[in-house]
């Protein structure tokens, strides 16, 4: 696709988890994670509506490998709601690692949605917890605001961005991935799988240069 797209009055820029722990030097650093910051800052001026998500885990969260004696980060465990990657401790509530990257400049954002705060269940998606049943309320918020199309950017493409995109589609929103405003962890082929899954679900992929 080469034509330009949006943004329209009912479009949303959904900025996923651009937090210190996912950037260089962080506890769960995404390769080149901080590179999304200037791209997102430049994009933001083109949108009338912006929502940020913020991973916000209590200490000892069940998704942390440290909560499972003998298990290592990046192993997969079967929890009550299904398979769960066990992560290094990250984005613990109130820590510097959970704070947004210092150079992320989005004072016009209308909502900061915190997720992953329930101690016994993780939350990749901006719309649902990892049981894929418990809503965050974002879907209802967007509908009540009259917002119909969601543009996604942030960290990481193959986890929180992907899950948010798939859930946005499941809820009936037009969904657009801004590929160069995201970075991936790419855990055992997870990026290729994420791209395929999003394409199958009808997520449109564009670059930042195509917007506006």
User: How does pLDDT run across 24-80, given as a tens digit for each residue?
Assistant: 999 999 999 999 999 999 999 999 999 999 999 999 999 999 999 999 999 999 999
Catalytic member of 23, 153, 160, 182? 160
Catalytic member of 17, 55, 122, 167? 17
pTM: 0.96
CA angle, corner 77, sides to 185 and 170, nearest 5?
60
Mean pLDDT taken over the chain: 96
Predicted confidence (pLDDT) per residue in 186-211, tens digit: 988 999 999 999 999 999 999 999 99
Q: Is 133 a catalytic residue?
A: no
Q: Which of these, 152, 151, 155, 153, lies nearest to 184 by C-alpha position?
A: 155
- The pLDDT value recorded for residue 1 is 45
| Rounded-to-10 torsion of CA 200, 204, 208, 210 | 140
Catalytic member of 21, 115, 158, 167? 115
Q: Is 17 a catalytic residue?
A: yes
Stated as kind and residue range, the H or E segment containing 167 is helix 162-170
Q: Is 158 a catalytic residue?
A: no
- The pLDDT value recorded for residue 4 is 79
- The pLDDT value recorded for residue 56 is 98
């Amino acid at each position: 696709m080469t034509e330009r797209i949006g943004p329209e009055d009912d479009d949303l820029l959904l900025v996923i988890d651009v937090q210190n722990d996912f950037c260089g030097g962080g506890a769960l650093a995404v390769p080149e994670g901080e590179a999304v910051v200037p791209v997102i800052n430049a994009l933001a001026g083109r949108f009338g509506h912006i929502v940020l998500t913020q991973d916000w885990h209590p200490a000892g969260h069940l998704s942390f490998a440290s909560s499972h004696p003998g298990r290592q980060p990046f192993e997969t465990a079967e929890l009550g709601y299904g398979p769960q990657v066990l992560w290094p401790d990250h984005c613990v509530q109130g820590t510097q690692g959970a704070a947004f990257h210092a150079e992320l400049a989005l004072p016009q954002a209308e909502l900061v949605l915190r997720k992953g705060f329930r101690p016994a269940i993780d939350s990749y998606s901006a719309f649902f917890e990892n049981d894929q049943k418990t809503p965050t309320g974002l879907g209802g918020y967007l509908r009540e605001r009259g917002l119909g199309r969601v543009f996604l950017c942030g960290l990481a493409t193959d986890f929180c961005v992907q899950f948010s995109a798939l859930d946005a589609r499941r809820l009936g929103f037009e969904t657009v991935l801004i590929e160069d405003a995201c970075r991936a962890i790419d855990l055992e082929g997870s990026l290729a799988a994420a791209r395929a899954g999003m394409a199958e679900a009808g997520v449109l992929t564009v670059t930042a240069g195509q917007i506006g």
